[in-house]
Amino acid sequence: MNLEILGITVLWIFLFGYLIVASIDFGAGFFAFYGRVTKKDHIINGIINRYLSPVWEVTNVFFVFFFVGIVGFFPDTAYYFGTALLIPGSIALILIVIRGSFYAFGNYGSKNNVVYLFLYGATGLLIPASLSTVLTISEGGFLAEKGHHVLFLAKELFTSFYSWSVVFLAIVSVLFISAAFLTYYANRADDIEAREILRKFALFWSPPTILASLLVFISLQRHNPVHFNNSLDLWWMFLLSLIFFFIASIFIYKRKYFGFAFISVILQFFFAFFGYGASHLPYILYPFITIHTSVTNATMGTALVIALIAGLLLLIPSLILLMSLFLFNADYVKGKK
């Protein structure tokens, strides 16, 4: 495995980690608000808050590693994506600030303020929607070079069926991943009433997840035929993703093996996410940036790969420790601590 492939693989692992951890966090915020509106907060919000309290501050660690790594390893991304993401990136940054601020206000200030909870829940859906534009833009067709300047074709982005299908997929995936995890979490806490509500959420959002995935593939065929044809060569990864989706849905439906069901959800998105990434290579931003032509020098690249792998080896044990102390501690999960 050469340096470029190793570098982009490590970066993709960080991004996948962010996808899973952030999805649980973002969806939990939305479900907490939904529980308040439907007067079911006394049933499900205790479980949700016990999850959010220890992890909400560390969610963005994966994203920070990825962002620093992609700019350091492939410097051209800063030039091209810096222009393209000026609007959606700024929106996402503002939403992240709002989300963090109002979570703090809602939990350490006015705990019963429904406006704070609404802002926290709404931003949980708007953030992945805005960040998903990165993947959309990477498919090409939304940037143009004019002389020494890069032009962002905003009209094409906001009127593209492919763009909106990716946004739809981002939102429903967040809700499905989060509901699947919280169902398992409630079951571990022996909170059957909360589990049943969250289980219904997981089952409700599972069909839209597959529908959105199909829409993305259909629209990708028209938007970027090269990427679509490459993805057909990796059909087995997407087939495995579909198989794990059905395994997770069946276990959740039958109220069995909720932990294995959530692992199946992770594997579902793992194969889909890495299948998408592998079929997109060698392009990072079609057709301007490839992993071969835009990589930094070998010395810098080697140092970055070592630093990223070291960060990954440090981050994963830290998360395991966090989960053992809080998320999977029997007394904490059941609200005894």
| Dist. CA 291–CA 284, nearest whole Å | 7
Q: Which two tokens stand for residue 330?
A: 């029997």
Q: Are the C-beta atoms of residues 286 and 139 closer than 8 Å to each other?
A: yes
The residues, any chain, with a CB within 8 Å of residue 79's CB and separated by 6 or more, are 150
pLDDT for the residue numbered 303: 83
pLDDT band at 337 (very low <50, low <70, confident <90, very high): low
Count of other CB atoms within 10 angstroms of residue 85:
20
* pLDDT tens column, 48-75: 776 665 565 667 777 778 888 888 888 8
The string over 237-246, giving b where at least 16 C-beta atoms fall within 10 Å of a residue's C-beta and e elsewhere, is bbebbeebbe
The percent of residues above 90 in pLDDT, for the chain, comes to 28
Output 48 or 174, whichever has higher pLDDT: 174
Dihedral of CA atoms 287, 290, 294, 296 in degrees, nearest 10, equals 160
Which DSSP string do the residues of 198-238 spell out, in sequence order? HHHHHHHHHHHHHHHHHHHHHHHHHH-HHHHHHHHHTHHHH
| Dist. CA 300–CA 265, nearest whole Å | 36
* pLDDT tens column, 3-27: 788 888 888 988 898 888 888 888 8
Mean pLDDT value of segment 284-295: 81
Q: Which two tokens stand for residue 266?
A: 């992770």
Residue with tokens 């499900």: 44
Q: What is the mean pLDDT of the chain?
A: 83
**CB neighbour class for 58 (10 Å; exposed up to 12, middle 13-18, buried from 19):** middle
178 pLDDT above the threshold of 80: yes
The model's pTM is: 0.89
Q: Which two tokens stand for residue 92?
A: 């996402």
